[in-house]
Amino acid sequence: MTECCHVRYADAKAAKPLTGIGIRPDDCFTVPLCNRHHREQHTYGNERLWWVSKHIEPIFVALALYRVSGDHEDGSKIIEAWQ
């Protein structure tokens, strides 16, 4: 099962503000994750380090997916490039 995972840490290079409990990030900062990895991402303690451990730049991936929203083929290519 795939879930929509919001990236919560701030990144000035992408004009992404810090978000947290009760403040949901904009949907352009979401990436698909399986249930297990989504829970890990929330409970790891340091979200940025969790993404580093997975060798994924989530803000870059999220914005790329947002750009091709609705195009399954292009979205699949983006996901495959990060696996």
Confidence of residue 24 (pLDDT cuts 50, 70, 90): confident
Q: Count of CB atoms within 10 A of residue 2's CB? A: 11
Strand 2-6 relative to strand 30-34, pairing? antiparallel
Averaged pLDDT of the chain: 92
Confidence of residue 67 (pLDDT cuts 50, 70, 90): very high
C-alpha–C-alpha distance, residues 55 and 31, integer Å: 14
CA distances from 19 to 9, 25, 52 (A): 6, 6, 19
Choose among 67, 82, 79, 1: nearest CA to 29. 67
For 34-55, the pLDDT digits (tens) are 999 999 998 999 999 999 999 9
